[in-house]
Amino acid sequence: MEEKIKFLIEKLNNEHSLELDEYEYLIDNRTETARNLLKSLAVKARKKVYGNSVYIRGLIEFSNICKNNCYYCGIRRDNKNCDRYRLTKDQILECTYEGYDLGFRTFVLQSGEDSYFTDEVLVDIISSIKQKHPDCAITLSIGERNKESYKKLFNAGADRFLLRHETADKEHYEKLHPTEMSFEHRMQNLQDLKEIGYQVGCGFMVGSPYQTSKTLAKDLKFIEEFSPEMCGIGPFIPHNSTPFKDNMAGTVELTCYLLSIIRLIKPNILLPATTALGTIEEGGREAGILSGANVVMPNLSPLSVRKKYALYNNKICTGEESAQCRTCLEQKIKAIGYEIVTSRGDMKEGNF
Ligand code: 5AD
Ligand code: FES
């Protein structure tokens, strides 16, 4: 193998850090041998911290109403073809009861930026879930708000927050979002969430329009410096009612390569093999686990709304019941030699 790339992979494995131009080199010069070396070190690092365990999170997509207009996203405000819905508090609670019986101990509440869900409404929902299931973690994935609001939701019982940074390059950010959204605001939100005490997840799409190895290197450096508890990455997949409908999708190959790099940057990070990864290719999520991911997030949303929460085309798991999805994933994980565990699945602390 080319000496330099081998050197960089080993350096990353030992020091959990590279220079910006080294990350860029790693992305630009990847070969089959580099991929395999990186993957085997990532799997080793993952095993050392988490063994064969794969954590599951029950995803509840409770509203697809969104005030934003991100160019890539299928539930953007201007998509008039999107059939909008909003679950009631009772419907959300019902999902958690079903999920609890299926063994879920983390619920991820995800939605568009829907102004119906004020702090008051969310505090009520979060505290009700916590009251019924004090042994469960609640993860919010509800977009940008202000620090006061994040504090109230944290005090009501929310444990974790996912807010993908989308790209760590300001110019790139501005090519993916209309001018009413700002890179600085998103980054400030991430800092605020961390200061409040949430376990925080950032993340980005792989192969998003205008992404380059330079912007990706910045994403990796950002992850290294921000040191989030979680990181969600999945391939960009075009949605046919968005401005990016004709753009190319990201690949399983690059997504898996980046998953391995992220695992080596932070061996104890919680790293999901995303639904998007399973959507662009059959076996995509399994490939993600085999590259260093350790989390899967099956869908717990009511069957009646599943198809409506379409961020991208051809999303999988929109036709199966929660129980089916849970069993299906369990089998897939087992088949590759890993094991789904029923626990909150917090990040393991320690010096890895
Ligand atoms: N393809 C892949 N991922 C997408 N997301 C939004 N739209 C798409 C798409 N077309 C991701 C974004 C967002 C997360 C909830 O889903 O990164 O933060
Ligand atoms: Fe959802 Fe297979 S994981 S149906």
Per residue in 275-333, pLDDT (tens digit) is 999 999 999 999 999 999 999 999 999 999 999 999 999 999 999 999 999 999 999 99
Structure-derived torsion over alpha carbons of residues 23, 28, 32, 38, reported in degrees to the nearest 10? 10
| Cβ-contact 38, 9 below 8 angstroms | yes
Nearest-CA residue for ligand 1 atom 18 is 164
The model's pTM is: 0.98
Ligand at minimal distance from the CA of 235 is 1
Per residue in 58-84, pLDDT (tens digit) is 999 999 999 999 999 999 999 999 999
- Residue 189 reports pLDDT greater than 80: yes
Main-chain phi, psi angles of 152, to 5 degrees: -60, -40
- Residue 122 reports pLDDT greater than 70: yes
Residue-level pLDDT at 268: 98
On whether residue 108 sits in a domain, the answer given is yes
> What's the total number of domains in the chain?
1
On whether residue 59 sits in a domain, the answer given is yes
Residue-level pLDDT at 351: 82
Q: How many A from CA of 312 to the centre of ligand 1?
A: 7
On whether residue 122 sits in a domain, the answer given is yes
Query: Does the C-beta of 325 come closer than 6 Å to ligand 2?
Result: yes
Query: Does the C-beta of 328 come closer than 6 Å to ligand 2?
Result: yes
- Residues near ligand 1 with C-beta < 6 Å? 72-73, 164, 166, 205, 234, 236-237, 239, 276, 311-312
Shortest-distance atom of ligand 2 to CA 317: 1
Q: How many A from CA of 23 to the centre of ligand 2?
A: 34
On whether residue 346 sits in a domain, the answer given is no
Q: Ligand 2, residues 54, 59, 274, 328: which to mutate, most atoms within 8 A of Cβ? A: 328
Q: Ligand 2, residues 309, 317, 336: which to mutate, most atoms within 8 A of Cβ? A: 317
On whether residue 67 sits in a domain, the answer given is yes
Domain limits at 231?
50-207+222-249+269-341
Return d(Cα 136, Cα 130) in angstroms, integer. 7
Which residues on adjacent β-strands are paired with residue 339?
53
On whether residue 148 sits in a domain, the answer given is yes
On whether residue 308 sits in a domain, the answer given is yes
pLDDT confidence of 1, banded at 50, 70, 90?
A: low
Average pLDDT of the residues in 195-199: 98
Rounded to the nearest 10 degrees, the angle between the axes of helix 119-132 and helix 89-101 is: 30
On whether residue 217 sits in a domain, the answer given is no
Nearest-CA residue for ligand 2 atom 4 is 325
Q: How many A from CA of 217 to the centre of ligand 2?
A: 32
- Residue 155 reports pLDDT greater than 70: yes
Ligand at minimal distance from the CA of 320 is 2
Query: Does the C-beta of 320 come closer than 6 Å to ligand 2?
Result: yes
Shortest-distance atom of ligand 1 to CA 238: 10
28-to-146, 164, 172, 210, 216 alpha-carbon distances in Å: 38, 24, 18, 16, 10
- The domain that contains 324 carries what CATH number? 3.20.20.70
Return d(Cα 126, Cα 122) in angstroms, integer. 6
Per residue in 13-60, pLDDT (tens digit) is 999 999 999 999 999 999 999 999 999 999 999 999 999 999 999 999
Per residue in 228-251, pLDDT (tens digit) is 999 999 999 999 999 999 999 999
Q: Ligand 1, residues 57, 111, 312, 315: which to mutate, most atoms within 8 A of Cβ? A: 312
